[in-house]
Structure 1
Amino acid sequence: MQTTYIYPVLVERTPLNTFNIHFPNFPGILVTENEIHQALKKAREHLVQQVLEIEEKKSLPPIPATPDELTLQNSSNHIIYLDIYMPPYRDEAAQKSVSKNCTMPKWLRDASEHAGLNFSLILQSGLKEALGLNSKQQKFPD
Protein backbone atom coordinates (compact mmCIF):
# COMPACT_ATOMS: atom_id res chain seq x y z
CA MET A 1 0.00 0.00 0.00
CA GLN A 2 1.26 3.41 -0.90
CA THR A 3 1.47 6.14 1.70
CA THR A 4 0.71 8.97 -0.72
CA TYR A 5 -1.34 9.08 -3.89
CA ILE A 6 -1.38 11.90 -6.43
CA TYR A 7 -4.15 12.12 -9.02
CA PRO A 8 -5.18 14.76 -11.55
CA VAL A 9 -8.52 16.51 -11.48
CA LEU A 10 -10.00 18.68 -14.21
CA VAL A 11 -11.40 21.95 -12.93
CA GLU A 12 -14.08 23.63 -15.01
CA ARG A 13 -15.78 26.96 -14.34
CA THR A 14 -19.42 26.72 -15.43
CA PRO A 15 -21.58 29.48 -16.95
CA LEU A 16 -23.37 29.59 -13.57
CA ASN A 17 -20.03 30.52 -11.91
CA THR A 18 -19.75 27.20 -10.10
CA PHE A 19 -16.79 24.86 -10.23
CA ASN A 20 -17.05 21.34 -11.60
CA ILE A 21 -14.28 18.91 -10.80
CA HIS A 22 -13.89 15.71 -12.83
CA PHE A 23 -11.60 12.78 -12.03
CA PRO A 24 -10.04 11.34 -15.20
CA ASN A 25 -8.89 8.22 -13.35
CA PHE A 26 -12.25 7.72 -11.62
CA PRO A 27 -15.01 8.22 -14.22
CA GLY A 28 -18.45 9.01 -12.95
CA ILE A 29 -17.34 11.20 -10.05
CA LEU A 30 -18.23 14.86 -10.31
CA VAL A 31 -17.92 17.53 -7.65
CA THR A 32 -19.77 20.83 -8.04
CA GLU A 33 -19.35 23.73 -5.62
CA ASN A 34 -19.68 27.51 -5.65
CA GLU A 35 -16.21 28.15 -4.23
CA ILE A 36 -13.00 26.60 -5.56
CA HIS A 37 -11.60 25.82 -2.11
CA GLN A 38 -14.79 23.94 -1.19
CA ALA A 39 -14.73 22.09 -4.51
CA LEU A 40 -11.12 21.00 -3.97
CA LYS A 41 -11.82 19.97 -0.38
CA LYS A 42 -14.77 17.84 -1.49
CA ALA A 43 -12.73 16.43 -4.39
CA ARG A 44 -10.03 15.33 -1.94
CA GLU A 45 -12.68 13.63 0.23
CA HIS A 46 -14.00 11.73 -2.81
CA LEU A 47 -10.49 10.74 -3.82
CA VAL A 48 -9.73 9.41 -0.33
CA GLN A 49 -12.97 7.38 -0.39
CA GLN A 50 -12.13 5.90 -3.80
CA VAL A 51 -8.64 4.88 -2.69
CA LEU A 52 -9.93 3.37 0.58
CA GLU A 53 -12.46 1.29 -1.36
CA ILE A 54 -9.76 0.09 -3.77
CA GLU A 55 -7.45 -0.82 -0.89
CA GLU A 56 -10.24 -2.62 0.95
CA LYS A 57 -10.87 -4.78 -2.13
CA LYS A 58 -7.11 -5.38 -2.34
CA SER A 59 -7.19 -4.11 -5.92
CA LEU A 60 -4.57 -2.01 -7.65
CA PRO A 61 -5.32 1.70 -7.93
CA PRO A 62 -5.29 3.23 -11.40
CA ILE A 63 -2.05 4.75 -12.64
CA PRO A 64 -2.48 8.54 -12.50
CA ALA A 65 -3.01 10.18 -15.87
CA THR A 66 -0.22 12.44 -17.07
CA PRO A 67 -0.88 15.95 -18.43
CA ASP A 68 -0.17 14.66 -21.96
CA GLU A 69 -2.97 12.10 -21.60
CA LEU A 70 -5.55 14.70 -20.58
CA THR A 71 -7.58 16.92 -22.87
CA LEU A 72 -9.15 20.16 -21.69
CA GLN A 73 -12.55 20.92 -23.20
CA ASN A 74 -12.07 24.66 -22.81
CA SER A 75 -9.06 26.96 -22.50
CA SER A 76 -10.41 28.23 -19.16
CA ASN A 77 -10.30 24.71 -17.67
CA HIS A 78 -7.34 23.61 -15.57
CA ILE A 79 -5.57 20.44 -14.54
CA ILE A 80 -4.72 20.25 -10.85
CA TYR A 81 -3.00 17.37 -9.11
CA LEU A 82 -4.38 16.44 -5.69
CA ASP A 83 -2.24 14.53 -3.25
CA ILE A 84 -3.56 12.51 -0.35
CA TYR A 85 -1.52 11.18 2.56
CA MET A 86 -3.36 7.98 3.47
CA PRO A 87 -2.25 6.91 7.00
CA PRO A 88 -4.64 9.22 8.91
CA TYR A 89 -7.55 8.22 6.66
CA ARG A 90 -6.75 4.51 7.06
CA ASP A 91 -6.61 4.93 10.84
CA GLU A 92 -9.96 6.72 10.81
CA ALA A 93 -11.52 4.01 8.63
CA ALA A 94 -10.19 1.28 10.95
CA GLN A 95 -11.96 2.96 13.89
CA LYS A 96 -15.29 3.19 12.09
CA SER A 97 -17.98 1.19 13.83
CA VAL A 98 -19.74 -1.48 11.83
CA SER A 99 -22.98 -3.23 12.58
CA LYS A 100 -22.99 -6.97 13.21
CA ASN A 101 -26.14 -8.96 13.85
CA CYS A 102 -25.91 -11.26 16.88
CA THR A 103 -28.27 -14.09 17.77
CA MET A 104 -28.96 -15.13 21.38
CA PRO A 105 -31.75 -16.69 23.42
CA LYS A 106 -34.63 -14.32 24.16
CA TRP A 107 -34.30 -14.83 27.94
CA LEU A 108 -30.62 -13.73 27.76
CA ARG A 109 -31.49 -10.61 25.77
CA ASP A 110 -34.33 -9.75 28.19
CA ALA A 111 -32.15 -10.24 31.28
CA SER A 112 -29.32 -8.19 29.75
CA GLU A 113 -31.64 -5.33 28.79
CA HIS A 114 -33.22 -5.42 32.26
CA ALA A 115 -29.74 -5.14 33.79
CA GLY A 116 -28.96 -2.18 31.50
CA LEU A 117 -25.98 -3.90 29.88
CA ASN A 118 -24.32 -2.39 26.80
CA PHE A 119 -24.40 -5.19 24.21
CA SER A 120 -21.87 -3.52 21.92
CA LEU A 121 -19.32 -2.87 24.65
CA ILE A 122 -19.59 -6.39 26.08
CA LEU A 123 -19.33 -7.99 22.64
CA GLN A 124 -16.26 -5.89 21.79
CA SER A 125 -14.60 -6.78 25.10
CA GLY A 126 -15.35 -10.47 24.63
CA LEU A 127 -14.05 -10.51 21.07
CA LYS A 128 -10.83 -8.71 22.06
CA GLU A 129 -10.32 -11.21 24.88
CA ALA A 130 -10.95 -14.16 22.54
CA LEU A 131 -8.44 -12.73 20.04
CA GLY A 132 -5.84 -12.05 22.73
CA LEU A 133 -5.90 -8.30 22.14
CA ASN A 134 -5.53 -5.82 24.96
CA SER A 135 -8.46 -3.51 25.68
CA LYS A 136 -6.61 -0.43 24.34
CA GLN A 137 -5.60 -2.05 21.05
CA GLN A 138 -7.46 -0.36 18.24
CA LYS A 139 -6.85 -2.67 15.31
CA PHE A 140 -5.86 -6.21 14.53
CA PRO A 141 -2.13 -6.54 13.83
CA ASP A 142 -1.39 -7.48 10.20
Structure 2
Amino acid sequence: MKKDYMFPAVLDFTDKHIAIMFPDLDEALSQAESIEQAMRRAQEVLSMTIESRLEDNEEIPDPTPLDKIELSPSQKTILVYCSLNVKIKYDKKTLTIPHDLNVAAEAAGLNFSQVLQKALRDELLKNE
Protein backbone atom coordinates (compact mmCIF):
# COMPACT_ATOMS: atom_id res chain seq x y z
CA MET A 1 0.00 0.00 0.00
CA LYS A 2 1.39 3.39 -0.92
CA LYS A 3 0.90 6.30 1.40
CA ASP A 4 1.45 9.93 0.48
CA TYR A 5 2.12 12.58 3.10
CA MET A 6 2.50 16.35 2.95
CA PHE A 7 3.44 18.46 5.95
CA PRO A 8 4.51 22.07 6.41
CA ALA A 9 8.08 22.65 7.49
CA VAL A 10 9.52 25.82 8.95
CA LEU A 11 12.89 26.93 7.69
CA ASP A 12 14.69 29.24 10.14
CA PHE A 13 17.47 31.20 8.43
CA THR A 14 20.36 32.04 10.76
CA ASP A 15 23.84 33.39 10.04
CA LYS A 16 25.31 29.87 10.28
CA HIS A 17 22.72 27.55 8.72
CA ILE A 18 19.06 26.84 7.96
CA ALA A 19 17.25 25.02 10.77
CA ILE A 20 14.41 22.73 9.64
CA MET A 21 11.43 22.00 11.91
CA PHE A 22 8.01 20.42 11.46
CA PRO A 23 5.34 22.01 13.70
CA ASP A 24 3.27 18.80 13.74
CA LEU A 25 6.18 16.38 14.24
CA ASP A 26 8.36 17.54 17.15
CA GLU A 27 11.04 14.91 16.58
CA ALA A 28 11.51 15.88 12.90
CA LEU A 29 14.49 18.24 12.97
CA SER A 30 17.43 18.90 10.69
CA GLN A 31 19.65 21.66 9.36
CA ALA A 32 21.22 22.62 6.06
CA GLU A 33 23.70 25.01 4.49
CA SER A 34 21.61 25.97 1.43
CA ILE A 35 17.95 26.11 0.44
CA GLU A 36 18.46 23.19 -1.97
CA GLN A 37 20.00 21.09 0.77
CA ALA A 38 17.22 22.15 3.16
CA MET A 39 14.57 20.92 0.71
CA ARG A 40 16.28 17.51 0.40
CA ARG A 41 16.86 17.14 4.12
CA ALA A 42 13.29 18.18 4.94
CA GLN A 43 11.97 15.39 2.72
CA GLU A 44 14.43 12.88 4.21
CA VAL A 45 13.54 13.73 7.81
CA LEU A 46 9.80 13.68 7.02
CA SER A 47 10.11 10.23 5.42
CA MET A 48 12.12 8.85 8.34
CA THR A 49 9.73 10.33 10.90
CA ILE A 50 6.61 8.95 9.20
CA GLU A 51 8.22 5.52 8.74
CA SER A 52 9.25 5.45 12.40
CA ARG A 53 5.79 6.44 13.59
CA LEU A 54 4.15 3.81 11.40
CA GLU A 55 6.53 1.09 12.64
CA ASP A 56 5.82 2.08 16.26
CA ASN A 57 2.04 2.33 15.63
CA GLU A 58 2.14 6.00 16.64
CA GLU A 59 -0.33 8.61 15.46
CA ILE A 60 0.27 10.54 12.25
CA PRO A 61 -1.32 13.93 12.97
CA ASP A 62 -3.22 16.03 10.48
CA PRO A 63 -0.97 18.73 8.99
CA THR A 64 -1.43 22.25 10.31
CA PRO A 65 -2.67 24.67 7.60
CA LEU A 66 0.05 27.07 6.49
CA ASP A 67 -1.96 30.14 7.53
CA LYS A 68 -2.09 28.84 11.13
CA ILE A 69 1.68 28.70 11.57
CA GLU A 70 3.18 31.75 13.29
CA LEU A 71 6.58 32.77 11.95
CA SER A 72 9.35 35.09 13.06
CA PRO A 73 10.93 37.40 10.45
CA SER A 74 13.79 34.91 9.89
CA GLN A 75 11.43 31.99 9.12
CA LYS A 76 9.68 30.74 5.99
CA THR A 77 7.34 27.77 5.46
CA ILE A 78 7.52 25.13 2.77
CA LEU A 79 5.32 22.12 2.04
CA VAL A 80 7.23 18.85 2.13
CA TYR A 81 5.94 15.76 0.34
CA CYS A 82 6.95 12.16 0.81
CA SER A 83 5.58 8.90 -0.53
CA LEU A 84 6.16 5.65 1.32
CA ASN A 85 5.62 2.06 0.39
CA VAL A 86 3.98 0.55 3.44
CA LYS A 87 3.72 -3.20 3.78
CA ILE A 88 0.37 -4.41 5.03
CA LYS A 89 0.47 -6.88 7.88
CA TYR A 90 -2.24 -9.54 7.57
CA ASP A 91 -3.95 -11.47 10.35
CA LYS A 92 -5.58 -14.83 9.71
CA LYS A 93 -9.14 -15.23 11.04
CA THR A 94 -11.32 -18.31 11.23
CA LEU A 95 -15.07 -17.84 10.93
CA THR A 96 -18.23 -19.90 10.74
CA ILE A 97 -21.07 -19.20 8.27
CA PRO A 98 -24.27 -21.07 7.40
CA HIS A 99 -23.71 -23.93 4.93
CA ASP A 100 -26.21 -22.65 2.34
CA LEU A 101 -24.53 -19.22 2.35
CA ASN A 102 -21.14 -20.88 1.84
CA VAL A 103 -22.41 -22.98 -1.09
CA ALA A 104 -24.05 -19.96 -2.77
CA ALA A 105 -20.97 -17.75 -2.28
CA GLU A 106 -18.61 -20.40 -3.65
CA ALA A 107 -20.93 -20.99 -6.64
CA ALA A 108 -20.86 -17.24 -7.32
CA GLY A 109 -17.05 -17.27 -7.20
CA LEU A 110 -16.88 -14.74 -4.37
CA ASN A 111 -13.55 -14.09 -2.68
CA PHE A 112 -14.39 -14.47 1.02
CA SER A 113 -11.41 -12.38 2.17
CA GLN A 114 -12.27 -9.45 -0.11
CA VAL A 115 -15.95 -9.54 0.86
CA LEU A 116 -15.10 -9.56 4.58
CA GLN A 117 -12.56 -6.73 4.19
CA LYS A 118 -15.08 -4.58 2.30
CA ALA A 119 -17.80 -5.29 4.88
CA LEU A 120 -15.45 -4.40 7.75
CA ARG A 121 -14.36 -1.14 6.09
CA ASP A 122 -18.01 -0.19 5.39
CA GLU A 123 -18.95 -0.95 9.00
CA LEU A 124 -16.03 1.08 10.35
CA LEU A 125 -17.02 4.07 8.18
CA LYS A 126 -20.54 3.94 9.65
CA ASN A 127 -19.07 4.13 13.15
CA GLU A 128 -16.84 7.17 12.54
Report deviation, 1:30: 2.6
1:78 maps to amino acid = K
The residue that corresponds to 1:19 in the other structure is: 18
Q: Percent identity between the aligned chains?
A: 24
Corresponding residue of 1:64: 63
| Rounded Cα–Cα distance in structure 2 between residues aligned with 1:63 and 1:86 | 17
Alpha carbons of structure 1 residues 36 and 85: separation in structure 2 relative to 1, 3 Å: same
Structure 1 unaligned spans of 5+: 92-142
Q: Which runs of 4+ in 1 moved over 3 A?
A: none
Give 5+ residue unaligned stretches, structure 2: 88-128
Q: AA paired with 1:6?
A: M
Query: Partner letter of residue 38 of structure 2?
Result: A
Q: Give the Cα–Cα distance (whole angstroms) in 1 for the partners of residues 8 and 28 of structure 2.
A: 13
Which structure has greater strand proportion? 2
Aligned to 1:34: 33
TM-score of the superposed pair, with normalisation by structure 2: 0.60
Q: Which residue of 2 aligns with 1:83?
A: 81
Cα RMSD, aligned residues only: 2.0
Deviation sequence 1:97-138 (CA, Å, 0-9, x none) = xxxxxxxxxxxxxxxxxxxxxxxxxxxxxxxxxxxxxxxxxx
Instruction: Count how many residue pairs are aligned between Structure 1 and Structure 2.
Output: 87
Aligned-pair distance for 1:77? 2.0
Relative to structure 1, the CA distance from residue 70 to residue 51 in structure 2 (aligned partners, 3 Å threshold; closer, same or farther) is same
- What is the TM-score with the length of structure 1 in the denominator? 0.54
Q: Which residue of 2 aligns with 1:7?
A: 7
